[in-house]
Amino acid sequence: MSSLAHPTIRLLALHVAPVDERWFAESAVPDSAWCTVIQRASLDAAIDALTTADSQPIDAVVVDEYVRDSTQWEAVERIRSACPRIPIVAIASERTPDALDRAIGSGADDALYRDDVTGALLARAVRYALAKRRADLAEQRAEAAIAVAQVREQFMAVLAHDLRSPLSSIVISTSLILKGTGIDEPRAKAATRIVRSADRMNRMIVDLLDVTRIRMGEAFVLKRERVSLTELCQEAVGEIQPSFATRALSFVAKGPAWGQWDAGHMTRLVSNLMIICLSASPTDTLVRIEIHEEANETALVVSHQGGRIPEEVLANIFEPFAAMTGSEKRVPVPGLGLGLYVAHQIALAHQGTLSVRSTENEGTTFMARFPISNDV
């Protein structure tokens, strides 16, 4: 389709009598045509010109009231049906109160009274119709994209939910094997690896379920209770450490850091940040977890000494799957790249914030801040 400012829009004029060439010249620029006119006297011939594959594409249609094989309104309706995206301008010869409304109701994008038509006015109407169709097409594509995204997210939610049952069976069966007698060391190590891998899979499934719920409009349901954030972090370190047995972890807490937290969600926030830092940093470096209270806030800091995260990655790092895009610059995180998104949403649900700072010298630091409640 031609640009709105292009001087040669390809215009199909459905008109019985010879077209008035003054309609197709810009009055502001004498003898300057704003379009190339292809005239057809019958509706069938017009539709053939619009739909024939080997013909040159038509940008817009002007439908006069005088059409050989149909009424004007039937012509507009049939052209709209045959070519839903083509811009249409109707020309009404009589100044009846409903003439223009009827043209729009039949499917035209704009309509003019014949006595008012000038080159400039018709050019403006056609360009308006072009812009309107483009906007409609963009809206339709956006709606289609939303529909596809909703189906995809519903599918992911069902898939994640259905995966939990066989995964649970794997964990239970492997745990029973480990509790049995007579199992040799190689088999015990293999069973232990299965349990740890299943645990990582379960974390990914839980993250995926949370992401699909959030993106489908469901918020986190928090079960707040008086809990020590320090104790939650200690539990998270105890759970994560066996999977990173060779890594050095430093945990420092200045006090118990009591608060009204959802214990399960806060433990996941800490675990996700720890796993990301452990996975993104060299194996011979230290990962630090710190908790301290300042002013009216409790701060949780998780940092590693890996390289700097590029600015273009940092800009969207808390978006779902953002850490998986751009293979040469992506953040090396495990799983689906949902951990940071989920951690960010958990922080927001607790009226907190989650931010990140990354430099070449200091490495990367994630800081979650939460307001201290007066009723703690």
pLDDT of residue 4: 40
> What DSSP string runs through 52-67?
-TTSPPP-EEEE-S--
Name the 3-class secondary structure at 370: strand
- Do residues 195 and 249 both lie within one domain? no
Determine whether 116 is exposed, middle or buried from the number of CB atoms within 10 Å of its CB (0-12, 13-18, 19+).
exposed
Rounded mean pLDDT, 335-352: 83
**What is the phi-psi region of residue 295: left when phi exceeds 0, alpha when psi lies from -120 to 50, beta otherwise?**
left
Contact 365, 356 (CB under 8 A): yes
Please indicate, yes or no, whether residues 108 and 175 belong to a single structural domain of this protein. no
Same domain flag for 207 and 233: no
Domain final residue, candidates 140, 155, 187:
140
* pLDDT value at 143 more than 70: yes
Do the domain assignments include residue 105? yes
Any domain includes 365: yes
Does residue 2 lie in a domain region?
A: no
Cα–Cα distance, 346 to 257 (Å, whole number) = 18
**Taking the C-alpha atoms of 211, 216, 217 and 221 in order, what is their torsion angle to the nearest 10 degrees?**
-50
DSSP string, 185-203: HHHHHHHHHHHHHHHHHHH
Higher pLDDT, 55 or 281: 281
pLDDT, mean of residues 27-54 = 75
Whether residue 3 is contained in a domain is answered as no
Do residues 131 and 109 touch, judged by C-beta distance below 8 A?
A: no
Identify the domain containing residue 18 by its residue range. 9-140
**pLDDT-above-90 percentage for the chain:** 15
Select from 308, 292, 304 the least CA-distant residue to 256.
Answer: 292
pLDDT of residue 280: 84
Q: Is the dihedral of CA 305, 306, 308, 314 positive or negative?
A: negative
Which domain CATH number covers 355?
A: 3.30.565.10
Query: 130 and 149, same structural domain?
Result: no
Claim to verify: residue 236 and residue 365 sit in the same structural domain: yes
pLDDT at 159: 64
The arithmetic mean of pLDDT across residues 100-112, rounded, is 86
How many Cα atoms within 13 Å fall on the side-chain side of residue 171? Answer: 13
For the cut 50, the answer to whether the pLDDT of residue 5 exceeds it is: no
Check the CA dihedral 173-176-178-184 and report its sign.
Answer: negative
User: The domain that contains 181 carries what CATH number?
Assistant: 1.10.287
Angle (CA) 297-285-317 rounded to 5° is 55
Whether pLDDT at 299 is above 90? yes
Q: Is the pLDDT of residue 303 over 90?
A: yes
pLDDT value of position 324: 44
Which of 140, 161, 183 terminates a domain? The answer is 140
Residue 54: is its pLDDT beyond 90? no
Q: Which of 229, 211, 318, 317 is nearest to 266 (CA)?
A: 229
Q: Is pLDDT at 353 greater than 90 in this prediction? A: yes
For residues 331 and 363, give the distance between their C-alpha atoms in angstroms, rounded to a whole number: 13
Q: Assess if residue 1 is contained within a domain.
A: no
Kindly provide the b/e burial profile for residues 191-218, where b requires at least 16 CB atoms within 10 angstroms of the residue's own CB: beebeeebeebbbbbbbbbbbbbbbeee
| The token pair that represents 60 in the structure block | 């817009």
Give yes or no: residues 239 and 358 share one domain.
yes
259: enclosing H helix or E strand: strand 258-261
Q: How far apart are CA 112 and CA 148, in angstroms?
A: 39
Query: Which CATH number does the domain housing residue 90 bear?
Result: 3.40.50.2300
Q: Token pair of 350, please? A: 């607790």
Whether the pLDDT of residue 352 is over 90: the answer is yes
Residue 368 dihedral angles phi and psi, to the nearest 5°: -105, 130
Instruction: Note the pLDDT of residue 317.
Output: 86
Q: Does residue 337 share a domain with residue 233?
A: yes
Query: pLDDT per residue over 146-204, tens digit each?
Result: 776 666 666 666 666 667 677 777 777 787 777 777 777 787 778 777 877 777 677 77
Q: Are the beta carbons of 137 and 100 closer than 8 angstroms?
A: no
Residue 376 covered by a domain: no
Is the pLDDT score of 30 beyond 60? Answer: no
Same domain assignment for residues 135 and 28: yes
Which pLDDT score is estimated for 329?
44
Question: Which is more confidently placed, 50 or 300?
Answer: 300
The model's pTM: 0.52
Report phi then psi at 133, rounded to 5.
-65, -40
DSSP SS3 for 333: coil
Residue 261, phi then psi, degrees to nearest 5: -110, 155
Are residues 111 and 165 located together in one domain of the fold? no
User: In this predicted structure, which of 11-15, 19-23, 201-205 has the lowest mean pLDDT?
Assistant: 19-23
98 half-sphere exposure, CB direction, 13 A CA radius? 4
Q: Work out the average pLDDT over 245-249.
A: 87
Instruction: Give yes or no: residues 234 and 312 share one domain.
Output: yes
Indicate if the pLDDT at residue 335 is higher than 60. no
The C-alpha atoms of residue 43 and residue 45 are separated, in whole angstroms, by 5
Range 288-310 average pLDDT: 88
Domain C-terminal end among 120, 140, 160: 140
Number of domains in the chain: 3
pLDDT at 95: 81
The structure tokens listed for 283 are: 């194996």
pLDDT of residue 365: 93
The one-letter code for the residue type at 89 is V
Residue 97 is assigned to a structural domain of this protein: yes
For residues 271 and 171, membership in a common domain is answered with no
Are residues 297 and 228 in contact, defined by beta-carbon separation less than 8 angstroms?
A: no
Kind of pairing between the strands at 258-261 and 225-228: antiparallel
Residues 25 and 122 in one domain: yes
Residue 54 lies in a domain: yes
d(CA 220, CA 94): 61
Please compute Rg for the chain using Cα positions: 33
